[in-house]
Structure 1
């Protein structure tokens, strides 16, 4: 039951982290996505009307999510398909199930409190950054946020440019001649000639803001591995990470490159290293067994989430379908609570 709960709830948190691991700048979406994440997590165990009542991020920060009156019954909390099936089939007086539901309630409350305390939901800077999205223009609140941006990036514009900037943002909000945003990265849009020529100071400030780092700090841990950088570095599992560290440490200790370490004086006639050969075979067997195990787990998960096999032609598509099915289950849970 616990693993079923984890596999259903964790994708919600993971999707938020993965979103900001992308190469394109998304700092302007940080506030909106944090609020969305917090609300979607709360509705797993908090009454929907309580969540809907918190109409602003400030109210979300002050929301009493530890109160029993704000929470739904443990049996109605989002448990995931697998755990929910076990709970429904068991007797109401089953002490194992009762203990599990109590732990779920406590875990949700604790995790929700951590998110509420740690997420900068009411941060004025992040709120203002959302105003740089081209599709957000045309609103008084957006204009107000844009007026505050130079106070956060004080070194980008000088006094004369700041005055021109204030005039530019007003014109920007009523300009219908600007190109559409659809399918374009936000930094590419702000770099277009028609934008930079018409609004030089505004685009200068926005481009400086979009260059700010917004990814998880955990990515910096890869530096200890002598900058292991590739297009999938953020997806390395712990075993692979550990193996790379071990190999690099050994090579560094011997002060040799990989070629020097395994080089032979006469590779045509020297005997094969039997230990190395044995280790390679063993590693290959374990690797194939691990792939087979993961494949079986994915098939089982697809059956549980009722995903049609014809829609899973690729690994990426399969992952997307599983994540969407889990999200659909959470949304279905919310809809049932409203009814």
Structure 2
């Protein structure tokens, strides 16, 4: 994003005060455009490869190696080749190397995410990583990274966030960090075709041509993040939509022996296409067969062909199961994307979404009978399970199997996986959270019930930091509210939660309840709040997401980004009155 701004170097404003004063900066490292320095007193910047001055450009030039890609590392080295098991060991600071060490494509080099610099291990191997971890500069930057406050999880997705710190809907996480890590059968999922098309624009164009001839939407396969269920759902759906075009596309790289076995798959699809379009597809396939491939490209093609043709039944069964079971969580996500506070619905919806998933493999009568103690239900008890042939895997999944034995084997495997996933959800979802259960009692539909009155009284303890009135006054106001039948008849209980309580709290006799209700109704995250983070994301990058009194780099980078756009921070503010964003002013 800022590469066009940081294209020369930097100036140390403590050593070159006169020039920095003229340019309007007094502290830290100033990033400037090409030619700006030449206009001044002839002073030249320090080396353009200075670690601080080239931080942004370096981050754009680094190419990390993904372990799952199967790409060989350090082929030209005779010894001290990269070993992935190094990352599973601890350094001198009792921290795993996997936390901050990344392998780059360059031979004999790794990358330290704390220091933003490369480490040469070609001569010493793992010892070089250990030596780097002992350096004082590394320990200092590690300390800064741990002490400084990070920006919200919306700016970056890491494997560490799957256990419940992200509440961003794009991560597919449930509110309060209840991201269901739904692991389906332990065989491999659909081929990672998204990686193949990301590397070549020509392949994307050829796939688009085949899609047009087959009257399919011109789509491209999506990359998949295995720890995010929403990513798994969208990538599986896209894969099934593109199954026919992908089958024809990758048939171009089948060997002569493979064509004899799998040619019927593509031939059956081509027969359904008009002759003119069929000839155009043949031209594309012929061109693809003659296309030269790199070693990495050949590996990717062989891996995809193995899954798309040889393991086709397994891959399709998993993809269809993904698209059948994962939408059970969609309703929960969409409900809490509304522009209204729904804090009183969270507890009930959490229980409901867990029951919906457990109903895929457990007896319904057991779930209904144990709803109140769902958090204590023994999900390892096989007596509560349905028979394997009754386990829900989706109608499309059943159609994939031609032999009944294969279907039965898959259902048994799905049952064991559902069992593990159910235990994971039971441990992660806060279905036994007393605060969420108490917040359910502010539902207008419960007005006039003794249980709701008792829950409202509990808010005095829950939000004791905000409530200033005595306990007796608060309890009397809560009791009076639930006894006021005239008030209940005069208000529509179906209206929004904040609107209903806004009218109730206009009465002076319920004034002691105001602070607690203000706190309850402010527990809200909606699309307007999310949009503000999207605006910030266009300025703040992964290298500027930490603020500390010792490091002013983030401040200068953001400031310079605004200057280059001929705008100011005030332009990102809106004078439009936004209701229900932070607090309800009319309460």
Q: TM-score range by the shorter chain?
A: 0.5 to 0.7
Alpha carbons of 1:19 and 1:175: their partners in 2 closer, same or farther (altered >3 Å)?
same
2:349 to 33, 38, 44: 33
Alpha carbons of 1:192 and 1:55: their partners in 2 closer, same or farther (altered >3 Å)?
same
Cα distance per residue 1:171-210 (max 9 Å; x no partner): 1112122233345211111112675434122244212211
Partner of 1:52: 368
Matches within 5 A, 1:226-241: 226-227=536-537
How many residue pairs match? The answer is: 229
Matches within 5 A, 1:1-339: 1-56=317-372, 59-86=373-400, 90-94=402-406, 97-160=407-470, 162-178=471-487, 179-192=490-503, 195-213=506-524, 223=533, 226-227=536-537, 256-257=564-565
Q: Is the CA contact 1:4–1:82 (under 8 Å) kept in the aligned structure 2?
A: yes
Higher helix share: 1
Q: Is the CA contact 2:448–2:482 (under 8 Å) kept in the aligned structure 1?
A: yes
Alpha carbons of 1:114 and 1:225: their partners in 2 closer, same or farther (altered >3 Å)?
farther
In the TM superposition, what is the alpha-carbon distance from 1:147 to its structure 2 partner?
A: 1.5
> Is the deviation greater in 24-33 or in 14-23?
14-23
Q: Is the CA contact 2:473–2:512 (under 8 Å) kept in the aligned structure 1?
A: yes
Cα distance per residue 1:275-299 (max 9 Å; x no partner): xxxxxxxxxxxxxxxxxxxxxxxxx
Q: Is the CA contact 1:190–1:203 (under 8 Å) kept in the aligned structure 2?
A: no
Alpha carbons of 1:195 and 1:258: their partners in 2 closer, same or farther (altered >3 Å)?
closer
Q: What's the C-alpha RMSD, in Å, of the aligned pairs?
A: 3.1
In the alignment, the residues of structure 1 paired with residue 503 and residue 331 of structure 2 have an alpha-carbon distance, to the nearest angstrom, of 30
In the TM superposition, what is the alpha-carbon distance from 1:254 to its structure 2 partner?
A: 12
In the alignment, the residues of structure 2 paired with residue 7 and residue 91 of structure 1 have an alpha-carbon distance, to the nearest angstrom, of 22
2:331 match: secondary structure: helix
In the TM superposition, what is the alpha-carbon distance from 1:117 to its structure 2 partner?
A: 0.2
In the alignment, the residues of structure 2 paired with residue 93 and residue 55 of structure 1 have an alpha-carbon distance, to the nearest angstrom, of 35
In the alignment, the residues of structure 1 paired with residue 417 and residue 531 of structure 2 have an alpha-carbon distance, to the nearest angstrom, of 28
Q: Which runs of 5+ in 1 are unaligned?
A: 229-248, 260-339
**Higher CA-based Rg:** 2
Q: Is the CA contact 1:187–1:207 (under 8 Å) kept in the aligned structure 2?
A: no
In the alignment, the residues of structure 2 paired with residue 104 and residue 198 of structure 1 have an alpha-carbon distance, to the nearest angstrom, of 57
Q: Is the CA contact 2:388–2:408 (under 8 Å) kept in the aligned structure 1?
A: no
Alpha carbons of 1:62 and 1:27: their partners in 2 closer, same or farther (altered >3 Å)?
same
In the alignment, the residues of structure 2 paired with residue 222 and residue 202 of structure 1 have an alpha-carbon distance, to the nearest angstrom, of 31
2:508 match: secondary structure: helix
Cα distance per residue 1:25-59 (max 9 Å; x no partner): 11111111111111111111101121122041xx2
In the TM superposition, what is the alpha-carbon distance from 1:215 to its structure 2 partner?
A: 6.8
Q: Is the CA contact 1:13–1:37 (under 8 Å) kept in the aligned structure 2?
A: yes
Alpha carbons of 1:63 and 1:193: their partners in 2 closer, same or farther (altered >3 Å)?
closer
In the alignment, the residues of structure 1 paired with residue 437 and residue 525 of structure 2 have an alpha-carbon distance, to the nearest angstrom, of 15
In the TM superposition, what is the alpha-carbon distance from 1:17 to its structure 2 partner?
A: 1.8
In the TM superposition, what is the alpha-carbon distance from 1:214 to its structure 2 partner?
A: 5.6
Q: Is the CA contact 2:505–2:511 (under 8 Å) kept in the aligned structure 1?
A: no
In the alignment, the residues of structure 1 paired with residue 561 and residue 519 of structure 2 have an alpha-carbon distance, to the nearest angstrom, of 42
TM-score (norm: length of structure 1)? 0.60
In the TM superposition, what is the alpha-carbon distance from 1:12 to its structure 2 partner?
A: 1.2
Q: Which runs of 5+ in 2 are unaligned?
A: 1-316, 539-556, 568-587
Alpha carbons of 1:188 and 1:224: their partners in 2 closer, same or farther (altered >3 Å)?
closer
Q: Is the CA contact 2:444–2:493 (under 8 Å) kept in the aligned structure 1?
A: no
Alpha carbons of 1:253 and 1:44: their partners in 2 closer, same or farther (altered >3 Å)?
same
Q: Is the CA contact 2:448–2:485 (under 8 Å) kept in the aligned structure 1?
A: no
In the alignment, the residues of structure 2 paired with residue 69 and residue 221 of structure 1 have an alpha-carbon distance, to the nearest angstrom, of 48
1:141 match: secondary structure: helix
